[in-house]
Chains A and B, each alone.
Chain A
Amino acid sequence: MSEIMNEAEAYKGYRGITLEVLKKFNALVWSEIDVETIDGSKYSGLILPRSETADANHIVIKMATGYNIGVRAEKVASIVVNGRKVAHYKIPEKAFPYDKGKPRVKLFGTGGTIASRLDYRTGAVIPAFSPGELYGSVPELADYCNLETEKLYGVFSENMGPEQYIGTAKAIAKEIEQGVEGIVIGHGTDTMHHTAAILSFMIQNSPVPIVMVGSQRSSDRPSSDAALNLIHSVKTAAESNLAEIMVCMFGPTSDMYGLLHRGTRVRKMHSSYRSTFRTLGDIPLAMVDKNKITPLRQDYKKRRTDKEFKILPYFEEKVGIVYYYPNMQPDMINSMVDNGYRGIVIAGTGLGHVNKPLYPALKYAQDKGVAVYMTVQTLWGYVQMYVYDTGRDMMELGVVPTANMLPEVAYMKLCWALGQTDNLEEVKRIMLTPVAGEITEREPSNGYLIYQGGIPEVEEFISKFRK
């Protein structure tokens, strides 16, 4: 067994013909080699491990110039091994300085790499996470706080789930109990708004800022947003008066300031932009840069010194979200009911609609005691089911409108509500009682601003203010 392990390590990532060839010439990864092919090509360099997802036909060589190339294994005529140069993965650490005048901030890691370092020889990105490692990469953090870190999970954002939500909520609770002055949670960006929403329901009335942060450009690149996001979030956790669960990410794509979004009103809106997180149907809580935090509104929860917060770590897994489309067949809903789903959130068209052929399915769900809630796939605006007959018909069938809750937030809230009770009336009461701004009484007119490019006045604005 151990021999097999060793071989896997010795020829890391190589399989099939590449493995055969390397073994034939006893050329392990990290060997310095001269290779010659049957068509007369000659290359020199260091054999690198092969990515598991790459094909099984090429041997990767790092040349003296630092560039990599792949040599087709079946063409290899000879390999001469001249030496070995094993890369060792180690991140330099510098002790995070302690300053008794600075607040204690806790950074939880869930798996997204907010800070990482690059192994130049292999190209592997190594997450930097301990205070010492972080201090080595983002020394500015020490200007704001005494940082402690704890790695909770090592999963990609899309693999975050109930276990991680509950675990994170409990870890936060423990820290608040112990008097931490602010919490930062490093998280992959794809589902950061899901986690922000569920934490907003699980941890209520927090006395300190709880800031979620990530990066859109990995931190091994000089233009990364990671360091600045981390600085902004640590500053917010350490110094701000905002005792809310927030997402802290770039405001514009430029390196200028971050925005603090309320965890229940924020959404990732672009697959790759730095400024991907936006507050929908409202305005963000504040702007933050290296030097200051500028609140944009006054109705935020203020920092306190008591420890009177609530932790409600509940989660029902049998809840689904259905994105309605024209021509949707009733079996979509029926199959969920038949599979034992206890709750369904529909993202309906316009003010919250689905087509008539779906009604029998909604009736079926109602009869089976499934909680069905309506949100809007327009993302902005309220569900208004009284305006058209369709809406009224659906309410008759037990579909409950959720005002201006975002679909993902309604989903998280329904999981949380059904995790607490089987009583559908109670579930409804929980769903429709705002906890952390997920439903707002009014939508300010600047809560919906998507400027349309090309319009002269918009272009004028863009040309004056960096994006």
Chain B
Amino acid sequence: MSKFIFKPYEEMTPEDYATIGFKSGLEVHQQLLTEKKLFCNCPAGHYQDKYNAEILRHMRPTLSELGEYDGTALMEFKTKKDIIYRINYDTVCTYEMDDTPPFQINEQALDIALEVGMLFNGYIVDELHIARKQYLDGSIPTGFQRTAITAVGGHIPYKDRTINLIQMSIEEDSCRETSDIGHKRIYKTDRLGMPLIETVTYPEMKTPDEVAEVNNILRELVRSTGKVRTGIGAGRQDVNVSVEGGTRIEIKGVPNIKRIPLLCYNEAMRQWNLLRLREELHARGINGETFNANYTDVTKLLRKTAYQPIHNAIIQGMKVNCVLLKGWNGLMNWQTQTDTYFSKEISDRVRVIACLTTLPNIIHSDRWSETIAAADWKNLRKVMNATKDDALIIVWGADDDAEMGAKEIIIRAKEATIGIPSETRQAHWDGTNGFERILPGPERMYPDTDLPPKPISDERKNRIRSQMPERIWDRTKRYLEIGVPSDIVRDLRISKLANLFDKVVNELNISPKFASVALIQFPKRLKKMRLSTIALTEEVYFNIFKLITDNKISHASVFPIMKKIAETGIFSEEYIINLKKEEELIKVIERTKLIFKDMKINKAEKRDDLFICFLMNELRGTADGSLIAKLAKEILNAEDK
């Protein structure tokens, strides 16, 4: 193992990431814009906090082929949670509650998924097999997610190389967690069952920044179809990170791409530092075989402690366990992530597995001050037979939970002598991550016996292919070539109005520059003025552009007309200001000139420019700007002569 020591985030270079063997892949989830859910006829995208009823379920692990619970199953079974689902009649039917078998798959959603698969250059499957993917955390009431592969393989261009995709699937979205306290976890069910696609890349990204950049491309590509949902929670990603000698760790449900680099950095650091911790343990002679730990009930010993959390626990009749880790002195303070230490790995496990969700849920001898009294620590050392080389960890809770907590502390500590446990981890706001659950393996997939395989005909594939949008990288190139301002290209290429853009450019001969500004910048300007752009439908836009083509309005009239429509919510002929004829314009210019003459102008050399500006204000929207400028210049020139 390299002696590399992690630097602060800003100082890490691509070479540093190469040194530690950083590798990352993405699983990008994107909700589809459909009217209904994937396997029932409930409306999709209606979020509500109100609920009419609650349902209680428990998730029971099914044994694996070897007759043993697999890691995730074991953990979830240990946690023994009451799972409560909150049901709103408007958004959930008996299907989501798992009291009715699934209906046929939503064809609209499947079409979108196939289209995206084609955009990614994937092989579209001939026959769709709906699988059940087990989730024992309760996030789906059935205990599994219905999911099916729509495309295999595929690739996207990135920098001077390609990023390869493993597969793409269509699946139903899960519940939103409301709370998870003690042995009770509560879910909202409105999002449950909404159609979602998941795109999985190979771990081909070599730095944290690359992960975010590739994610952006993937995100924009699906958005360019105009058939996916946008907004908070509509796109989420799982980021897989590993370093040389480490383990694939999945950071779940990252909502914002901008946060990815820091999350990757911290996870890479965590893995690197855990590998260094293993070296340290081995150097101390602690390995999988020599690892030595035990725990004892110390409730009595601590019954008089003034340390509030333990004091309160004992008053409530709870139990306090003390865990001894032989030879571990100081290692609870071993840094894992930014401002985060190995004790957090322990505390996380205790929180999730033993359901001890009130923090702090442990204290330890490596940070003994401000906890129990020094004398208590001393007594504990005596009772536990601990030397100064050992570490003590205290955990408290209801009998079963305190037992589970103590056992889990020993399990997690022992894992450190072996390496990095396979886990899924949750993203925290500060860029660090915390334990969520053990990473499940491919064994958790099995066919859905409720729905037969579904052939995907060549006719269907051809129909979708013929309507497929241009890929964003091709679009980008074309837009730049025809003169769309580069700052607008980025938005236009994923805009729902991209098709309209091509139509007005081609059919109405509107300049690409103006059309893109009007379709992308003007609505933004209106939104800044807190106006709604709902009334500005594609049809309305088209009619406005047609007025230009028909010479009824000038380019300059477009924004004022849009503003009127946004204000009133309707399009009216009255908003059209008729174009002035040349004679009329000349009259106005002459008249304005007289007024302008009496005005004081400080900089004489700017006089003509100012005059034109002045004129423009007078005439805005009544004539084409270039025509006004031309006429004004002619008049000024005539005067000069």
Q: Which residues of A are at the interface with B, using a C-beta cutoff of 8 A?
A: 40-43, 51, 53-55, 57-58, 60, 63-72, 75, 91-92, 94, 117-121, 123, 125, 136-137, 216-224, 227-228, 253-256, 270-274, 453, 459, 462-463, 466-467
Contact = CB atoms under 8 A, between A and B. Distances in A.
B141 A75 contact: no
B445 A66 contact: yes
A51 B64 CA distance: 22
B136 interface: yes
Interface stretch (B127-135, B525-533, B623-631): B127-135
A350 B273 CA distance: 77
B143 A63 contact: no
B152 A63 contact: yes
B392 to A, nearest CB: 34
Contact of A223 (B67, B89, B143, B167): B143
A42 B153 contact: yes
**Most-contacted residue by chain A among B67, B142, B166 (CB, 10 A):** B67
Given A65-B166, A221-B142, A272-B101, 12 more contacts: A53-B452, A63-B149, A65-B442, A66-B445, A69-B125, A69-B128, A70-B128, A120-B444, A216-B99, A217-B142, A221-B144, A222-B144
A137 B97 contact: no
A224 B144 CA distance: 11
Interface string B26-54: 00000000000000000000000001111
Contact of B99 (A40, A57, A272): A272
Interface stretch (B10-18, B55-63, B234-242): B55-63
Given A55-B455, A253-B99, A467 B53 contact: yes
Interface residues of B, number: 61
Contact of B129 (A68, A218, A254, A453): A68
The 9 A-B residue pairs whose C-beta atoms are closest, nearest first, are A70-B127, A92-B67, A222-B143, A66-B445, A66-B442, A41-B123, A123-B447, A68-B129, A254-B56
Contact of A274 (B89, B99, B444): B99
A91 B67 CA distance: 7
Given A60-B129, A63-B167, A67-B148, A120 B455 contact: no
Contact of B443 (A120, A222, A271): A120
A273 B99 contact: yes
Given A223-B57, A255-B58, A43 B152 contact: yes
Interface string B111-149: 000000000000111111101111110000111100111
B149 A67 contact: yes
B136 A70 contact: no
A58 B152 contact: no
A255 B94 CA distance: 16
15 contacts: A55-B455, A64-B442, A65-B200, A66-B444, A70-B129, A70-B453, A92-B66, A120-B64, A221-B142, A222-B136, A222-B144, A223-B98, A223-B141, A254-B56, A463-B53
Contacts of B53: 462-463, 466-467
Nearest to A53: B452
B4 interface: no
Nearest to B457: A72
Contact of B127 (A71, A221, A463): A71
A406 to B, nearest CB: 23
B62 to A, nearest CB: 6
B554 to A, nearest CB: 52
A17 to B, nearest CB: 13
Interface string B437-458: 0000011111101001101000
Contacts of A272: 94, 99-101
Nearest to A94: B67
B127 A117 contact: no
A140 B68 CA distance: 16
Contacts of B147: 67
A179 B56 CA distance: 38
Given A67-B149, A255-B58, A462-B53, A75 B126 contact: yes
A223 B99 contact: no
A222 B61 contact: yes
Contacts of A217: 98, 142
Contacts of B127: 58, 60, 69-72
B169 interface: yes
A70 B200 CA distance: 20
Contacts of A219: 62
B56 A466 contact: yes
B65 interface: yes
B55 A467 contact: yes
A216 to B, nearest CB: 8
A221 to B, nearest CB: 5
B99 A255 contact: no
Contacts of B57: 223, 254-255
A227 B453 contact: no
Contacts of A64: 442
Contacts of A51: 452-453
Given A221-B142, A255-B58, A120 B452 contact: no
Given A57-B455, A68-B131, A223-B142, A136 B126 contact: no
Contacts of B126: 58, 69-72, 75
B94 A273 contact: yes
Contacts of B152: 41-43, 63, 69
Give the residue among A119, A256, A467 with the most B Cβ atoms within 10 A.
A467
Contacts of A66: 131, 133, 442-445
Contacts of B143: 221-224
Nearest to B82: A255
A222 B60 contact: yes
Nearest to B441: A66
A223 B131 contact: no
Contacts of B99: 216, 253, 270, 272-274
A123 B449 contact: yes
Contact of A65 (B61, B101, B445): B445
Contact of B55 (A117, A227, A466): A466
A466 B97 CA distance: 13
A125 B442 CA distance: 18
A333 B126 CA distance: 51
A72 B453 CA distance: 12
A227 B446 contact: no
Contact of A119 (B52, B60, B61, B65): B65
A254 B56 CA distance: 5
Contacts of A254: 55-57
A120 B68 CA distance: 13
A256 B126 CA distance: 43
Contacts of A221: 62, 132, 142-144
A330 B63 CA distance: 57
Nearest to B77: A222
Contact of B52 (A42, A92, A463): A463
Contacts of B442: 64-66
Contact of A466 (B54, B101, B136): B54
A41 B125 CA distance: 9
Contacts of A253: 55, 97, 99
Nearest to B64: A120
The residue among B56, B100, B128, B444 with the most chain A CB atoms within 10 A of its own CB is B56
B167 to A, nearest CB: 6
B98 to A, nearest CB: 5
A220 B63 CA distance: 9
Nearest to B89: A453
A222 B62 contact: yes
A224 B61 CA distance: 10
Interface string B148-168: 110011000000000000110
B453 A54 contact: yes
Nearest to B150: A69
B592 to A, nearest CB: 69
A232 B551 CA distance: 81
A164 B445 CA distance: 36
Among B55, B126, B128, B149, find the residue whose CB has the most chain A CB atoms closer than 10 A.
B126
Contacts of B129: 60, 67-70
A71 B128 CA distance: 9
